[in-house]
Amino acid sequence: MMVFRKLYLKAEGVGLSLWILGLHLWTASALVEPLTYLPHDLQSYFNTCHGCGDLTEQTGELAFWHVMQAYVTKFAETNPSLSESELSYFHETIAQSFAPYHSNRSKRQVAAPRVRKEIRAMTDAERVRYFNALNQLKTNTSLSPNVYDALAAFHQGANVQRAHFGPAFPGWHRLYLWILETFLRQQDPQVTIPYWASHLDGEMTTPTSSVLFSNAFFGPGFGTPDTGPFNSWRQINPNTVFTRNLAEGTQLFTVAGIDAILRRSRNRDILVPTAQADSDLERLHGGGHVFIGGTMNNLNTAARDPIFFSHHAFVDQIWERFRLNQRAAGIPTATDYPWDPNDPRIPASHNPNLTAGFTTVGSPFDSFRQIDGFSDDFFQLVQYEQVPSCATGCAVSRYLRCNTATNRCVSRSTSEVRAAGINVDTLQGLIPAGRKKRQAVQRNYEVCDRNWFLHDVNVNTMSPASPDVLRNIYTNSWSYIPVKVVTKRPTNYIDFPKFSAYGSHSNGDNMKPELTKVGTQKSYEYCEDHMDAPGKIRIVAYGLNHDAFSEEYVISDNRLAVSESIGVIAIRTPTPAGSSDVMVAAFDSCGRVCRPYCKTEPDTKHNNFFYGALRVSTESPSMYSASYSDALLSVWEIPSDGACPSVNNNLVPLTFFCEYTDHWIWGPNTSPTIDVTEVKRPKVLIIRKKTYNLYGNSGVVSPLDQNRLSRVG
């Protein structure tokens, strides 16, 4: 089944005569070949991930995303460099935020805790105040280039390694939320960060239609923020503008996943690398990043999108519920930090006594250690309202309704809210961020924008989505490889049963076991509810020796026992000075991974299985094209004028077979320990000779270790 539309190819300047003449459009000389081994550190991440469960226990898409995020942190810039005056301002602001809770006044006079609500449970006025405070941080230059961007830059590079892929994950982000909220409250003392309970959207028929992505909430779900509360952010700092590409079918938090976490008793049971996949808090949180897409899809840039902080506030809310259960069971929550110095899977930067990385290491302002995020003091500092439920009729919000089939609240769609006469196109009282002089655009992390006529295609109507996405200014940076996708009928697709070959018995060569064997890969919960006859296969490519990412979709036919599609994936253009090494993968809309195959020789009849790592070089023979349309047309042959076009499979270097029977496809690795593609990491481990607490006093005890208890709702 060909993914092609004449109208849009003509718009790109490709005439219909190309179909008639049958031209081969190889416009570049390039060799595409599989790498024998994955980079050593990447394989190590895959091995750790595999130890948490195989593909029958975790979805391939989230497993792959988690591993690739660990790998690509090496490409990020170092953490923000603050001047002495900025560092002093940062330190004093944080110190003052704790002072009301550590005064010598009576307990009755201690400041009230901050209360965080689900964003749809806030009043419109509360939501406006929160958005206004964010906009004020975006124009406040007390930290450069502005306070919001300076704080967002703490979540990149070495700090991502401190914050993720180990036991510090929930505590580090708890500190991060407190820091942002403290600066927000400088603008408005009543503001707190709302949490985004994403399972309220995940149980919708179409989560991408949630009211959250209206102008009255977080703004549009596709492209740059041209409307909504952050519509002026592009003008303020083009270097850090965020984008979104909502991904239909991706797994958000689920009630079952949250319950699996809450049933565990120790942090080692819910944190990387010792948790099993079904109760791994960090791995499950990845679904929100993938769902939002765009800037959120890369941990090095995710905090540029304000929805990041509401997503992590919900992660923190789940963790606090877990800790309440621990406390009820008599488990000391402040010391239940699963650190094992002899476990090579745990990053050394997660040592509980090392810096969390929010200020310069070794400076008088080096305040927070990794263990501080586990402090019981936060029980007094922050409280969470419960997630809205049907028990209250979901009456706390006009943006929610009760699903009587599940007896749980779900989000209303934007169209539902409009039909009820509620204005979600504007937000009264919103103060846009002021404009600053435009800066030259400098993009270190390259994202290839999907071809717009395939951009988030609605497979039910096959209509194109809005073309309003951030256009890649590096037009010569990308080249395009044709891809074939062979898809077995998904076992959980129940319509058109007469086309299914499952349960059929072999009759000579008429039936192939590969096409009739039922796959057992884990799929996203509720994915059957979103399945239709046309299916979507998502193809992604990450740079292995450079910082770049691309994604595309091809359309499959879920009705048939087996179907075939042709698509294209973008890779960074190689040069004579160096190859472009990439890691490719494909997933169906249920999160199941497809097996990759690559040609080892141009005339090879059948592609060979490999792990997904490709090397694209300028050597012959030519195997990529300079444009999307060239790559798409290049695999078609018309032997004579008037003949029927057919695909020449010898011209398709990359194939994915979505057959769902593999239990693991990324290893094991037997490569040498020396990795020729490895990029030197930023230094993340520094021995602290002296520590300082929030008040500048020398010592190893933080004021957060006072172990004050109070119930967090």
Q: For residue 273, is the peptide bond before it cis, meaning its omega torsion is within 30 degrees of 0?
A: yes
Mind listing the pLDDT tens digit for each residue in 322-381? 999 999 999 999 999 999 999 999 999 999 999 999 875 455 556 689 999 999 988 889
Q: For residue 668, is the peptide bond before it cis, meaning its omega torsion is within 30 degrees of 0?
A: yes
Tell the burial category of 75 from Cβ atoms under 10 Å away from its Cβ (0-12, 13-18, 19+): buried
Exposure string of 477-492, with b = 16+ CB inside 10 Å and e = fewer, is bbbbbbbbbbbbbbbe
Q: Residue 130 and residue 229: Cα distance in Å, rounded?
A: 10
DSSP alpha helix (H) spans, 329-449? 378-381, 414-419
Q: What is the DSSP letter of 615?
A: E
Q: In 3-state terms, what secondary structure has residue 292?
A: helix
**Average pLDDT of 392-401?**
89
Among the ranges given (122-136, 333-347, 694-708), the one the predictor scored with the smallest mean pLDDT: 694-708
Confidence of residue 649 (pLDDT cuts 50, 70, 90): confident
pLDDT at res. 518: 77
Q: Residue 280 and residue 681: Cα distance in Å, rounded?
A: 26
pLDDT at res. 603: 61
Residue 82 has pLDDT above 70, yes or no: yes
pTM: 0.84
Q: For residue 305, what are its two tokens? A: 């999108």
Q: Residue 507 and residue 71: Cα distance in Å, rounded?
A: 47
Closest residue by Cα to residue 24 from 711, 682, 623, 670: 623
Mind listing the pLDDT tens digit for each residue in 188-241? 999 999 999 999 999 999 999 999 999 999 999 999 999 999 999 988 888 889
Q: Residue 208 and residue 707: Cα distance in Å, rounded?
A: 42
Q: What is the dihedral of CA 77, 79, 84, 88, to 10 degrees?
A: 150
Can you state the percent helix, strand and coil of the chain, rounding each to 5?
30, 15, 50
Q: Are 569 and 652 in contact (CB under 8 A)?
A: no
Among the ranges given (53-67, 140-154, 188-202, 637-651), the one the predictor scored with the smallest mean pLDDT: 637-651
pLDDT at res. 565: 93
**Average pLDDT of 39-52?**
94
Q: Are 211 and 120 in contact (CB under 8 A)?
A: yes
| Domain spans in the chain, listed from the N-terminal domain onward | 6-59+445-638+647-658, 77-440
The radius of gyration of the chain from alpha carbons, rounded to an integer in Å, stands at: 26
**24 or 497: which leads in pLDDT:** 497
Residue 298 has pLDDT above 60, yes or no: yes
Confidence of residue 509 (pLDDT cuts 50, 70, 90): low
Please tell me the number of Cα atoms within 13 Å of 47 on its side-chain side.
14
Tell the burial category of 438 from Cβ atoms under 10 Å away from its Cβ (0-12, 13-18, 19+): exposed
Number of Cβ atoms within 10 Å of the Cβ of 678? 15
**Average pLDDT of 93-111?**
66
Q: Residue 223 and residue 219: Cα distance in Å, rounded?
A: 10
Helix (H) or strand (E) holding 135: helix 124-139
Q: In 3-state terms, what secondary structure has residue 523?
A: coil
DSSP alpha helix (H) spans, 423-548? 513-516
Q: Residue 621 and residue 568: Cα distance in Å, rounded?
A: 18
Q: What is the DSSP letter of 644?
A: P
Confidence of residue 512 (pLDDT cuts 50, 70, 90): low
Q: Residue 177 and residue 373: Cα distance in Å, rounded?
A: 10
Helix (H) or strand (E) holding 482: strand 478-488
CATH number of 77-440: 1.10.1280.10
Q: Residue 299 and residue 456: Cα distance in Å, rounded?
A: 22
Q: Residue 448 and residue 178: Cα distance in Å, rounded?
A: 34
Q: In 3-state terms, what secondary structure has residue 30?
A: coil
Residues paired with 149 in a beta bridge: none
Q: For residue 667, what are its two tokens? A: 């290893």
Q: Residue 243 and residue 225: Cα distance in Å, rounded?
A: 7
DSSP annotation string for 657-674 = EE----S--S------S-
